[in-house]
Chain A
Amino acid sequence: MTKQVVQVSKVVIRFAGDSGDGMQLTGDRFTTETAGLGNDLKTLPDFPAEIRAPAGTIPGVSAFQLHFADHLIATPGDEPDVLVAMNPAALKANLKLLRRGGDLIVNTDEFTKRALEKVGYTANPLEDGSLEEYQVHPVALTSMTVEALKDFDLTKKEAERAKNMFALGMLSWLYSRPSEGTLEFLKAKFGKKPEILKANIAAFEAGWSFGETTEGFSVQYEVAPAAMPAGVYRNISGNLALSLGLVAAGQLSNLPVFLGSYPITPASDILHELSKHKNFGVTTFQAEDEIAGIGSAIGAAYGGALALTTTSGPGVALKSEAIGLAVMTELPLVIIDVQRGGPSTGLPTKTEQSDLLQAMFGRNGEAPVPIVAPQSPSDCFFAAIEAARIAIEYRTPVFLLSDGYLANGSEPWKVPDVADLPAIDANFATELNHENADGSMDFWPYLRDPQTLARPWAVPGTKGLEHRIGGIEKAEGTGAISYDADNHDKMVRLRQAKVDAIAQTIPELTVDDPTGDAKVLVIGWGSTFGPIAGACKLVRDGGGSVAQAHLRHINPFPANLGSVLAKYDRVIVPEMNLGQLNMLLRAKFLVDTVNYNQVRGLPFKSDELAGVINDVRASL
């Protein structure tokens, strides 16, 4: 039967199931199909910290949210239009997110008495009328998958495992997604297990034809491609973009790359990715602990590599002393902190922006470290190159503050032409640089470049430049040990001045204010860019005016930040922490900012933030 095809401009789908149900894979595949169709999209994987919490429980629910549209979008969507719930736990954990009137696709096979009781349902929500507000589509997903695979030489359990492919096939039909990519993907994944491969393809096709024929779905949807600038596109997650940016930085600076790292969620994927690119001269070293991760990187930096260490908040805490050493020895080093909920172990798989002040101040002594923050998954690529540029040109450790949402979220990315990327000059010292009174020459490892205040980077193996560095205070110029009070005062100020001087080479902060008459500025940093942009759009669509600015550099701030802030009657600072950027802005510029904070482990909802902006506008 041919069904009516309805054009819609955007859809938010949330796949939710047990950790073992393969929801992340299903989401990934649906995303890839969607990207290929030319929709704009943003994704939000939302999974538990436990690898496999007990099946059928709320802690074991793993979800994947995807927003796709025929126009440019800023976020993975405030409310899903469609929820796919593979079991009662998934329904219970996610129903509150679903838009009223939204489509609810439920795997009825899993709604057994026991499974319902396990998550505290006293009655079956499919039967007690509690889902009346939604368009419920009951689908016997597991049993139909098993039925479709009955001719295969598989155990029941193996057959049931393919139910995510049935779901994917069904959704692919419902939203008119192409299936070739998924078939190719399955071939690559299960090429060595032909029976499993055939079964997965069969399950996918069964799901597709079920969608086509069932009366449960009366219409099929289409979402037209979004108008995007011409070019070659790919879909990319933040951790992948960040990894590729680091490889690129190695190429641009013509330096070997060395990553010293200890596995930690949600940063480990960067270690995994970089370990694949040895043919780019990338060495990855999985250290015995966080401290050795950064220690080995500092050693490699001393030896002339582009040195990296990747971690998350708890790891930064362990690395603090070593970061101070890198500040003191003025060696280039990029510290990648993929932030997660804290304190302590906190929420390992949830996002937060609460390491900003740790990055800023979390060391003994006056130890300034530049901070760079990407604003979207694909922007991680460019932010990584920028962090490496600052590290190398200024001989300093640099923080690159990503977060869990950027790390795992994805979006389409117009692939850049690498020839357009800026070269980075390592500018190793090779000559003696100080003339003594008697005309003889010496090498002074702390003689600074007058412009950048950076010290020379003289790597072992350079004849005649033998010198010693270390964590004890240095005499200005010679770099010899010095306990002199005046020298220390001077060196503390010089290290700060060097970091401040970076402001000379970073772009001015730009403000997005389409009407030019906004009285309220919303300023953020990091991954809140999308939700803030989404909120500003909602305000503007409602006829209001609001300005948006977003900080890529937090230490030092762009040179014009003070004057930008001064232009507005009110400045709102939304953050996924309790006001860390807010504190810095207030301290530095004495502005009476409006603080808006959430630490829910998830990105902001644009409509809530739009409400806050409108309240502030109304108060003026």
Chain B
Amino acid sequence: MSNLDKYPALTLVPKSDVAQSAKDFKSDQEVRWCPGCGDYSILSTVQGFMPDLGIAKENIVFVSGIGCSSRFPYYMNTYGFHSIHGRAPSIATGLSVSRPDLSVWVITGDGDALSIGGNHLIHALRRNVNLKILLFNNRIYGLTKGQYSPTSEQGKITKSTPMGSLDYSFNPVSLALGAEATFVARSLDSDRKHLTSVLSAAAAHEGTALIEIYQNCNIFNDGAWDPLKENETADDLMIRLEHGQPIRFGKDGAKGVIRTGDGHIAIANVAEVGEDALLRHDAHAQDPGLAFALSRLSDTHTLQDTPIGIFRDVQRPSYDRLAREQLADALEQKGPGDLQSLVRGKDTWVVA
């Protein structure tokens, strides 16, 4: 399959005229995350994935906010912009809207995207700007040394909450679905294969793609996602969503998701309800209802019944494209602007 077919959203981005490898995407900067941080594996997966896009390296831009994850652009040998706390989506929006020939990626964290930058995130999603947003969720503030974040489970004991945090947490996938997102997915820092497949689907998507990546901060919140990573527990806890497939998980696929009589969804024992009763995952469904219901299954504390994969992937013209079309229409209707006649205006008089 040619790159063009695989990534229709990148048709306006110039193709690379040389073969690329992961090495080409490594910058000369020394990586300064804590040893063992989950950010390393995400960086390596992204660097390994980039050549698959087949686009010119100089037409790729990584934009980030502030936080541990936001150092990411320094380590990519592409164009990069490490901006200010929470504002990366706005900066990336201006860049993407004015430059259709670029592939623009946003790197953010749970504090950056959901706390200080929450407003920009939801508006980027509803506009469907052509951005691929990777939200590294470690459920903690790392760079400021360990305060609870908007995704921390309620009751979290941290430096700023010695008696436990009081805030109820955000579920980034639910939030994005509520914000009219056209592409929402979740993956894990340590699952290179899964993360790569989600990155690929996001890159192919026209408009905003939000990928929540469960990331381990081994210094301030070590093991936050371990139940989903350890062989003994992962199968039982994690629901792998695959488009068109029955939603089934657990040891030997013993469990599945069904629609209950009252219209809700629930986890059921396949042996009891039968395979035909299982819901089939439809990421392309226009109605986000089922995707939202799936995002609500998981327990914030135990991580029981946590779906990963692509929740939603639907078509809607990107803001960038619509903005571009308006410029083109104006040009067609009015012709190229004539500055002298604009400055002169309509109501003039002559002084002899």
Contacts and interface: CB of A to CB of B under 8 A. Distances in A.
Contact of B343 (A244, A279, A281, A469): A244
B75 to A, nearest CB: 9
Tier of interface size on chain A: 35 or more
Contact of A295 (B90, B342, B349): B90
Interface string B320-352: 000100110111011111011011110111111
Given A303-B98, A415-B344, A291 B87 contact: yes
B57 interface: yes
Nearest to B120: A292
Given A466-B77, A468-B73, A291 B90 contact: yes
Contacts of A467: 79-80
A480 interface: yes
Contacts of B56: 461, 463
Contacts of B119: 288-289, 292
Contacts of B342: 244, 247, 277, 280
B337 A460 contact: no
A280 B79 CA distance: 28
B83 A300 contact: no
A299 B282 CA distance: 35
Interface in B35-72: 56-61, 63, 66
Contact of A472 (B82, B89, B352): B82
B58 A303 contact: no
Contacts of A300: 94-95, 97-98
Given A38-B349, A233-B349, A461-B101, A296 B58 contact: no
Contacts of B76: 468
Contacts of B94: 258, 260, 285, 295-303, 307
Interface stretch (A111-119, A224-232, A508-516): A224-232
Contact of B351 (A228, A295, A307): A228
B123 A292 contact: yes
A470 interface: yes
B78 interface: yes
A289 B344 CA distance: 34
Contacts of B348: 232-234, 415
A225 to B, nearest CB: 8
Contacts of A289: 119
B37 to A, nearest CB: 18
Nearest to A462: B58
A32 B348 CA distance: 9
B18 to A, nearest CB: 11
B234 to A, nearest CB: 36
A415 B57 contact: no
A230 B352 contact: yes
A462 B329 CA distance: 28
A234 B341 CA distance: 12
Given A234-B348, A244-B343, 14 more contacts: A181-B347, A231-B351, A258-B98, A279-B330, A289-B119, A292-B123, A296-B93, A299-B95, A304-B98, A381-B343, A414-B351, A418-B343, A466-B79, A468-B29
Interface of A: 32, 35-36, 38, 181, 225, 228-236, 244, 247-248, 251, 256, 258, 260, 277-281, 283, 285, 287-289, 291-292, 295-305, 307, 321-322, 324-325, 329, 381, 414-418, 460-472, 480-481
Interface of B: 14, 27, 29, 56-61, 63, 66, 73-74, 76-84, 87, 89-99, 101-102, 119-120, 123, 323, 326-327, 329-331, 333-337, 339-340, 342-345, 347-352
